[in-house]
Structure 1
Amino acid sequence: MDSKTRYVELQSQIDIQNLRSAAPKHSDEEGLIGSKRLNGNADGRDDLFDDLDFDVDSHPLITGESRGGSGVSGAVFNLTTSIIGAGIMALPATMKVLGVVLGFVLIVLIGILSEFSVELLVRFLVISKASSYGEVVHCAYGKSMKILTEICIIVNNAGVLIVYLIIIGDVMSGSVHHSGVFDQWLGHGFWDHRKLLILVVLVVFLAPLCALNKIDSLSLTSAASVALAVVFVVVACAIALIKLAQGTIEPPRMSPDFGSKKAILDLLVVVPIMTNAYVCHFNVPSIYNELETRSPQKMNTVGRMTTVICILVYALTAISGYLLFGNDTESDVLTNFDKNLGIRFSFALNYIVRIGYILHLVLVFPVIHFSLRQTVDALIFEGSAPLSESKKRSLALTVVLLALIYLGSTMIPNIWMAFKFTGATSAVSLGFILPSVVALKLSKTSGPGSLNATEKFLSWLMLGLAVIVGIVGLIGNIYSLSNPSQ
């Protein structure tokens, strides 16, 4: 590091320390940005942001010399793993509801908006000197909103992890309408007991990975999980192309079906399920903090590379899965791969698809669990030493959370039910509503982080669309529960 760069960073640290010692205390309800100190020069400018005279595109969230961390590729793998999880398995079913054209457009549009919201989140994490999602919301709207944000993260991540266990159980031990991998290999036996199988996987494979204290420790497993997801996509696309060449695939529906109440109801709930597939924001601060020589500009590069990968993977998976199974596509498309696909080596390919993706979920699980554990710790043990410095507290939280997730997986019937509600509530809030309202609020008082006209328009557009999707999706979910026959 050259002397000039070191001087700038040291000066920034001194300025921040002086600001903290000079700043008057304020109530939790005000939050950092809402405090009197930030509202008040006669010329309408803010004292804090006047003193923060640095380039937001190159200033790190944690000042000082970098002590190592993950590179761009490692960060891309971790962020991609945070996104590509169980949500991908529901996308062919959403394509069945929306049709190919509208489904593809929404996959691209939601991906772009999600990446924009990640950039907003990173920018205001740096400006507000926050180290977590909850803290930056606290800076904008106070402690009450911080607690609400942390609850959203807990609900979203716990729901996702429950879905992972449901999929593992469905694929390995079978479900009501589909045979499991073990049934096809070994016939009936104790492995038919779904709850027992999930418990064994949880204790033997998932718990050791979940016990790790740094997300950077999961970079290699994240890379492996992305590779397995790519294998799934390649095999699914290859099978679809072979069947297209054979002429054995029925023409897909290109537009939504409005022919029945059930079809219309499905339309109301399917977009929140798609938004759920892109939510990774809860892991963005952790990934950013462990990024080597971190800066918002570098993190934006990570976000854009991740978005391109995810859009390609999601679009190919959704289209190929829908082409293969048409109107028989299940909410978890993996369960469709239990029958003869009508091509050579069909059953071998089925095993590759199902087992490969189960391994992918096993490797993704600890990445999502990491932010869940961090958030629960911040909510319950606020003000305590960092979780990475307390192995006993970390282990205790891990055990309790895994036990609760296991219980949830035994109570929720299918992934469609879980995704419908988390997608319309916590997922749409974390991915789109909160980043936009935080940016719109903090940009009024932050000179280096002010939004330009295009960014303001996109923020308002994202906020409006997210609120509509959330409200409509929630109403549709409630109606579908009260009228199951529709």
Structure 2
Amino acid sequence: MERSPGQRGWYLSARWQRDEEADEDGESAPLLPPPPPAGSDTPSRGSSFGFSVFNLMNAIMGSGILGLSYAMANTGIMGFSILLLIVASLASYSVFLLLSMCTQTAVTSYEDLGLFAFGSTGKVLVATTIIIQNIGAMSSYLLIVKSELPGAVAGFLNGDESGFSNRSWYLDGRLLLLLTSVCIVFPLALLPKIGFLGYTSSLSFFFMVYFALVVMIKKWSIPCPLPLSSAIETLQVSNSTGDCKAKLFHLSKESVYAIPTMAFSFLCHTSVLPIYCELRSPSKRRMQYVTVTGIGLSCLIYFMSALFGYLTFYDKVDSELLQGYSRYLPHDTVMVTVKVAVLFAVLLTVPLIHFPARKAVLMVFFCHLPVSWICHILVTLTLNTIVVLFAMYVPDIKNVFGVVGSTTSTCLLFIYPGLFYLKLSREDFLSPQKLGACALVIFGICVGLLSLVLIIFNWVDQ
């Protein structure tokens, strides 16, 4: 029987109070009904621990891996390591807070958690943040298409992208972006249910791991100092003495992009609760083990790819790492396969990211209208148009990582989990968990605002 909003709120409050009385710390309180007993004809429901870790890592890893070497180049190896560890630890802690609230309230989505904490305003705020975050994520993926597809095409044609891109339409990045968006991304995004893309987009995780392995191997294929391509570069290198020396700590105006890029790279919180619901014998402690394992392994892959990318190009590393390999290994067969793999992953992942963005738009702006194909198509077309325009005219992927990472990513990663916990938890304010939630909110606000202000100042100063 369908409950009214008032009945549902009363039911969730009663469920929360009952769970608190039955299990104060919520460590073993199940969100879903227990699995069927042994010998039952009913099959066991839920994903295994290993498969849940894989799903979480697949939700974590994405285009952010291409910008971490640039972040290391502008913070130094030790500086990057410390910041990466801090962001990964806080991401894991914020998931712990979400799981605590999920166990206590029986809410299974980020938007509903906002509704439970702050009413309809909270739900709209979370949904709007998810829309902006997903638009930024899709734009970052299509920026990869714009920058890497011409090089992949040139590699297959055994030509040099820089040699005839001006007179060959099939090497124009913007035109290729538009064609792939119209012919591939938009039709896939139009599908009302794109569950099958969940399986194919899982390949993107393996492609990112493949990318990290190739970055580690190719470090030995590019000499240092880097090969020179012009007299200007020769003069620049002759006046520089630190091109092949790694820095442990480094601070520059570009360092401001480091934490936003990391926040962008670790954001998986909109997927945590659905993964929790699908976990076999779900409990907060079991899901926390999944979270720590998934974030820990992702952190290791991120660090290794960033380290070897930095040790390959040093201070000449690009904000999008693949561009460096396009410049110095334009016809390398392995790098061409990496580009194709990443592009394939991008084209199948963008429609998947589009799906929750469209759902949030319909929920916020068109919830009063009946479901219709016209509305479905118009929202899909509008979102895709916005994403393509961003990808076409944003000059650098670091701008997407910086702006989105310092705003929506910090909100979803740090601020909202802390705020929701402070609002919903009945613990004393001086309890360790509430103090930790308060610190998480303060960290998110300070880092987000400071990063955004410095990024804008950096734009104005250029």
* TM-score, structure 1 normalization: 0.77
Separation of aligned partners in 1, 2:48 and 2:369: 30
Q: C-alpha separation between the residues in 2 aligned to 1:468 and 1:397?
A: 34
Change (3 A) 1:281 1:22: closer
Match of 1:353 in 2: 338
Distance of aligned partners of 1:378 and 1:59 in 2 relative to their CA distance in 1, 3 Å threshold: farther
Residue identity in the other structure for 1:300: Q
User: Quick one: which amino acid aligns to residue 332 of structure 2?
Assistant: F
SS of the residue corresponding to residue 62 of structure 2 reads: coil
CA contact (8 A) 1:428 1:470 kept: yes
**CA separation of 1:209 and 1:155: change in aligned 2, threshold 3 A:** same
Q: CA shift at 1:371, angstroms?
A: 2.4
Equivalent runs, 1:257-296 vs 2, <5 Å = 257=251, 263=252, 265-296=253-284
Determine what percentage of the aligned residue pairs are the same residue: 25
Amino acid at match of 1:166: L
Residue 423 of structure 2 is matched in structure 1 by 441
Q: What's the counterpart of residue 405 of structure 2?
A: 423
Residue 89 of structure 1, aligned match among 66, 74, 86: 66
- 1:478 aligned residue (453, 456, 461): 456
Alpha carbons of 1:436 and 1:322: their partners in 2 closer, same or farther (altered >3 Å)?
same
Partner of 2:240: none
Amino acid at match of 1:415: I
Deviations 1:435-466 (A, max 9, x none): 11211221126xxxx89944334323322222
Aligned-partner Cα distance in 1 for 2:357–2:259: 24
Tell me what 1:362 maps to: 347
Within the alignment, does 1:108 sit opposite 2:85 as a pair? yes
Residues 146, 174 of structure 2: 8 Å contact kept: yes
Change (3 A) 1:443 1:340: same
Q: Return the alpha-carbon distance in structure 2 between the equivalents of residues 400 and 245 of structure 1.
A: 46
Residue 204 of structure 2 is aligned to residue 233 of structure 1: no
* Bigger shift: residues 317-326 or 370-379: 370-379
Q: AA paired with 1:96?
A: A
Alpha-carbon separation, structure 2, partners of 1:58 and 1:384: 41
Q: What is the rounded CA distance, in whole Å, between the counterparts of 1:215 and 1:128 in structure 2?
A: 29
Partner Cα separation in structure 2 for residue 98 and residue 205 of structure 1: 38
Root mean square deviation, CA, Å: 3.5
SS at match of 2:454: helix
Hey, what's the Cα distance between the residues in 2 that align with 1:441 and 1:268? 31
Q: Distance in 2 between matches of 1:432 and 1:307?
A: 15
Q: Residues 65, 201 of structure 1: CA spacing in aligned structure 2 closer, same or farther, 3 A cutoff? A: farther
Measured in 2, the distance between the counterparts of 1:289 and 1:217 equals 20
391 and 338 in structure 1: CA distance in 2 versus 1, 3 angstrom threshold: same
Q: Deviations over 1:379-406 (max 9, x none)?
A: 1233778x8xx77765554343223322
Q: Tell me what 2:313 maps to.
A: 325
The alpha carbon displacement at 1:429 in A equals 0.7
Q: Does residue 398 of structure 1 match 2:380?
A: yes
Q: Is the 8 A contact 1:92 1:317 kept in 2?
A: yes
**1:131 maps to which residue?**
108
Q: Which runs of 5+ in 2 are unaligned?
A: 37-42, 228-242
Cα drift, residue 314 of structure 1? 0.6
Cα drift, residue 295 of structure 1: 3.8
- 1:318 Cα deviation from its structure 2 partner: 0.8
Q: Aligned partners of 2:48, 2:380: CA distance in 1, in Å?
A: 27
Question: What TM-score, normalized to structure 2?
Answer: 0.81
Q: Deviations over 1:251-279 (max 9, x none)?
A: 2111113xxxxx2x323343222211111
Is the 1:82–1:368 contact (alpha carbons within 8 Å) kept by the matching residues of 2? no
Aligned partners of 1:23 and 1:426: how far apart in 2?
Answer: 28
The residue that corresponds to 1:185 in the other structure is 156
Give, in whole Å, the separation in 2 of the partners of 1:18 and 1:89.
46
Cα displacement string for residues 115-162 of structure 1 (whole angstroms, at most 9, x for unaligned residues): 221121122123223232122122222322322222111111101101
Which residue of 356, 362, 366 corresponds with 1:377?
362
Contact 2:225 2:244 in 1 (8 A): no
1:220 pairs with 192, 199, 205, which one?
Answer: 199
Give the equivalent residue in structure 2 for 1:10. Answer: none
Q: Which moved more, 1:238-247 or 1:296-305?
A: 238-247
Question: Residue 456 of structure 1: which of 430, 434, 440 is its match?
Answer: 434
Distance in 2, matches of 1:190 and 1:346, equals 20
Question: How far apart are 1:207 and its partner, in Å?
Answer: 4.0
What is the aligned length? 429
Distance 1:78 1:167 in 2: 23
Which residue matches 1:5? none
